[in-house]
Structures are given as structure tokens and as C-alpha cells.
A and B are shown apart, each in its own frame.
Chain A
Amino acid sequence: MSRKPANLQVITANRLREGDVVYLTEAGHWSTYLNESRVGADKAVIEEMLAQAQAAVAARQVVSVYAMEVVEVDGILQPLSTREIIRAAGPSVRADHRANAIQPAPVNRAA
């Protein structure tokens, strides 16, 4: 099992209109899949990602933007904190409301 140091960060937010939990992607879009996130390791990159996210706030795409820590386990991104694991996966108490955010995104998913 390969495990990188835990200083990787991604940017998360909620969609303004629907409220869904989303993550900033490489392409600068917002995805409900954590594993489509752009990952930043150093401060300058994370600052740049946050600036990009703030532009999306101004454009009324998302609200409540912040950076969060992730770890990469066997090529899959996972949040570091319990809070963010639950936020990504959905409430741990109702299997019928689980999201699949921490699973890899489907290959042929329409964007």
C-alpha cells in the first residue's frame, strides 16, 4: 500500500442552488466526486485554488468554500478527518442516503 504524506489538500464547497457537496476539479469545474479533485501540495498552489474557488463564489456557483486535507491510499483520495469522510460519503446512519463521493468517478460519466 502506497501512502503519501498527509499534507495534500483539495477545495470543497456546496453548490449554491442545490446545496450538494462538491470539490474543485483540475479543469476548474465542481464535481460531486472527491476523486476528480485537483490536489494541491504546496501553499502557492492551494492559494491559487482558493482564489479560483472564490471566483466561483462570485459567479454564484458555490458557497462555503474551504481547503481540506486528504490522503491518497492506493491511488484513491480520502479525506483525513472524520467530518470530511462523512461529508464526502453521506450520513453513516442511513445506507439509503450514502453518496459515493469517495469512490472513483464512473468512467463514462457525462460531465
Chain B
Amino acid sequence: MYRYDEFDLAFVQQRVKQFRGQVERRLSGELSEDEFKPLRLMNGLYLQLHAYMLRVAVPYGTLSSRQMRKLAHIARTYDRGYGHFTTRQNIQYNWPKLEDVPAILDELSSVEMHAIQTSGNCIRNVTADHFAGAAADEIEDPRVYAEIVRQWSSLHPEFTFLPRKFKIAITGAPNDRAAVRFHDIGLQIRRNDAGEVGFEVIVGGGMGRTPSVGTTIRTFLPKQHLLSYLEAVLRVYNQLGRRDNLYKARIKILVQQTGAEAFKDLVEDEWLQIKGGALTLPAEEIARIEDYFAPPAFETLDANQPAFEARRFEDRAFARWVRTNVTAHRAPGYACVTISLKPEGEAPGDASAEQMEVVADLAERFSHDEIRVSHEQNLVLPHVRLSDLAAVWETLEAHGLGTPNAGLVTDIIACPGLDYCNLANARSIPVAQRLTQRFSDLQRQHDIGELKIKISGCINACGHHHVGHIGILGVDKHGEEFYQITLGGSADENAAVGKIIGPAFSYDDVVDAVDTIVATYLELRRDGERFNATLARVGHAPFKDKLYAAA
């Protein structure tokens, strides 16, 4: 894992001190709320529906046990005993007191964490594949470059007041688990014909009120030019991105209005001015950062572990969990474990302080001290020996963390919605909870197979509804919560934006509607056919007929 050097440490500690002073000045009246608000937002502190909310950055979703224990400690000491893991691999605390926030930031800095770049119109915390450094299908570890981008972008003076927020995601594998086509910039690590490793650069993806799949503006960018090319993209955006209309300020609108080809030319022109200059990444610097992410010393193990196989054969519940929550690892005899934060009837992404500590202990004992946060609001133990899986599972089961539903219909992404958020029009979490109850039969879930439901409580789409196979968007109709359903979205390498199926459903009816869609899919699907493939083959009509038959 990356460890702070003296610059990182000094900078984060200085920031804590600075914010402590700002809070003191706010409380003593030297700063008005108008003056203070942009300062608190630069430190991840929002004022939400019920209280302040602190969003803490988890760079590229990687945590050590020590850091996770600190997150648990903060939840218990300064909040209400739990935290909420988000679709940007961060954690949010829903109930901090303003007067406690400097102390919280101080605690975070002691474990090399902070809340910088989690708000405001800057380059936000960079996200990456949650199986980075572990996945069997990976070309290179994307966190190396995520860290390089973090160092370049942190408090970058030129890009602190962009037209709007700016999100970058990186994946090192062809199977995209980081939704790179739905970010302002998505970087996909590629190997070219000459065998060199570089990046495909995708720009202008995004969700929100104008969902769009990003456009590739460069199929292969050599590594050493990563920062100069990113700087060129950001410069074009910073100069030409709209500042007159909040809803048209993201880079996706600029790319659409300029045209992808013309936008690409602008970037290339800008790049030529700075290419090969100070931002060129020397191979030694890449190697230095790579050292931080060097894979742990994996034992040489047999890919076939008889005790594990026997347990899987004998114990159906264990086998079921392995089928969904265990993913192939690059090292023989190891696996990646997905810890579901979606148990039946609970809020997706919430974890109690005790659960965080259980995960920290497991990571320390069984996963080389590493934990990941996934953008699907689950946690991951990236490096677990197959022979330890049963022990890990038993502990998870005992603490409400063993739900065998990763990638299934109840592994729902949901934004905080109207239960917590100031911007929301409708609730998301209770819809997710009711869906997990409706589909609680595990056998049925496994029969349905991979199916992604994503729920947002407003058009800002924090719950990624546009890219759900089944997407649910909460809207306000004359003070009542209604839910619009979209079908056919996808966040992976087959990126697609879902299409609205028809008129919205009431809060009471939306769960039945989803059930009808799933039942219709099961009737229509061919052997092994996934939801989006069935939808592509039969179209929206059969679903629409079933949904609106009564009307």
C-alpha cells in the first residue's frame, strides 16, 4: 500500500490545523456561513437533511486494517456507531457535530487519511477497480496510476475551481469493474501490439441529468505521458467548460457540444505544447510508486485445495457464498472475497463500527492487511487463501456480513436518498430494503443469476440508476414519491444507458413492478441468457405489456 512521505504528512496535518482555525473562526463569528461553506466543502463537510455529513476519502478504495479500525473508532466516538460506504469508494458519516470535525480530521491524519477532494469543483478522489492488484484478468495494477494522479491533482492550483466537479476512474483489466465509461475521464490500461502497456483515454462519460457513455479520444497513451495528457484535457475543459449553467457545466456537455473529434483536436493541440515537459513521468518515478503496491509475498500454493473443495461439496450454504462472493485471484490457491453490505432489510453500504472491526481483524489475519471498498458499496478482502475461506465465511456469517448475494438481484446500489440527502426527491434505501425482502429467497436469487438493480433518489444519479440492468429513479409528483424505471443500462465494458419503460410507479407499487420485470425476464430468457441480452433480443414491449396490462 501507499505510505505517506514527509510531504503528504506535512500537507495533511497542515490542512487539519487550517480547518481547525476555520471552524474556530466560524464559531466565534469571524466567518459567516457564506464565507465558511466553501471552506468546509473543501474538507468534505456538508450540511445535509438532518445534520452535518462528513465524507472521508478512501483513495482508490484501498484501506489497511489500521485505517478501517480508525473509521470504526470515529463512527463510535463521534457519530452514531455506523458509516455509509459510497459509490465513489468513500465513507460518509451522517451525524458529526461541526465542533468535533477538526478532531475527526486529526484522528484521520494519524492513519494517513483525510476528507480532501471529496467535494467541490475540483478533481475528486480517484477511483479504481476494487480487485486491483489481485484480479486474474488484470494487465497492471491501476492503483499505481491512481496514486500518481492523486499526487498530481491534490490541490492542483490550476484545477481547484473547475466549472464543475471532475471524476477520474482507472481500471487495469479488460472486464471493467470501475465504470470507466461513466466518468469525466476513464482510463483503461491496455497492451498495444508492441506489447507495451499504456492507457485508453475515455472522456465525457457521466450520469446525472444527462447520462452519457464516454468517448475514446486516444486508444493508446504511453505511460510517461499520462499526466501531461490529463493536464491537456483539464486545461481545455477549464477554459471552455460552461460556467453559466450548473446543469451544463460537466465535461460531457462540452464534449457533446464541441463534438468528440473537435474536442480531441483541442486536447491534442494543448498537449503538443506541454508534451515531453515537466509532467513527463520518469520510469524511476513509476517504479518508485509501483514499489508501494508490490504484491504481497504470496505463498506458492496448489490451485486445488482439497479441504476447501470438500467443504464446498458438503456445505451448501458455503458453496452458495463461494459461487457469488469469491472471485478468481491471480495467484494460485488464493481468491478475492466480496463482503456483502447488502443483507436483507438493511441500508445498502452501511456498516456498523463492530462490523468494520470484524473486517479489519479478518484482513489482518487472512488478507495481507488489505481491504477494498467497491463502487458497488461492498467491501473486499483481496488476498485470501482458498484454505482460509471457510474460516473467513464463518466469521462474516456471525456478524451479518456473509450474505451470498454479490452481483445478484439484492446486491443493490442505492444512494442515501430522501432519508439523508438534502437534494433528494424520494427515498431510495427503503425501496432497496423492500426489494431485498421481496427477493429474500436465496435459491430464487441464485436462479435469477446476475442482475443489477440501482436506485437513485434524484436525477443527480448517485445511485447509478442509469446503468442498472433495472434502474429506479425517485421523483417527486405533487409532494408524493414516485419511481421511474429504466431497463438495459450497464456500467461495465458493454456500457449502456437504460431506457425508461413507461409511466412511474408509486412507492407502494414499485416493488411489485420490479418483481413483474424479473418474472417476465425469467419467462423469456434462453439458457444462460443475462437480463440485458434477453432485453436486446425481445425489446421493451413484452415488459411493458406485463407492467401496464392492468392500466
Contacts and interface: CB of A to CB of B under 8 A. Distances in A.
Contacts of B99: 17-18
B51 A19 contact: yes
A60 B481 contact: no
B430 interface: yes
Contact of B427 (A20, A92, A94): A92
Consensus secondary structure, chain A interface: loop
Interface stretch (A40-48, A70-78, A79-87, A103-111): A79-87
Contact of B481 (A63, A82, A90, A99): A82
B419 A91 contact: yes
B33 interface: yes
Contact of B480 (A16, A82, A99): A82
A81 B479 contact: yes
A10 interface: no
A81 B481 CA distance: 10
Contacts of B429: 91, 93
A14 B419 contact: no
Given A20-B51, A64-B47, A87-B50, A93 B430 contact: yes
Contacts of B479: 80-82
Interface string B21-51: 0000011010001000000000000010111
B97 A94 contact: no
Most buried by B among A18, A19, A63: A19
Contacts, number: 68
Interface of A: 14, 16-21, 57, 60, 63-64, 80-83, 86-87, 90-94, 96-97, 99
B426 to A, nearest CB: 8
Contact of A91 (B98, B420, B480): B420
Contact of B50 (A17, A21, A82, A93): A21
A17 B49 contact: no
Given A60-B27, A92-B427, A93-B429, A18 B419 contact: no
B311 interface: no
Interface string B488-502: 000000000000000
Nearest to A81: B479
Contacts of A16: 26-27, 98
Given A60-B29, A82-B479, A86-B419, A18 B49 contact: no
Contacts of A14: 47, 51
Contacts of A83: 49, 418, 424
Contacts of B347: 93-94
Contacts of B427: 82, 86, 92-93
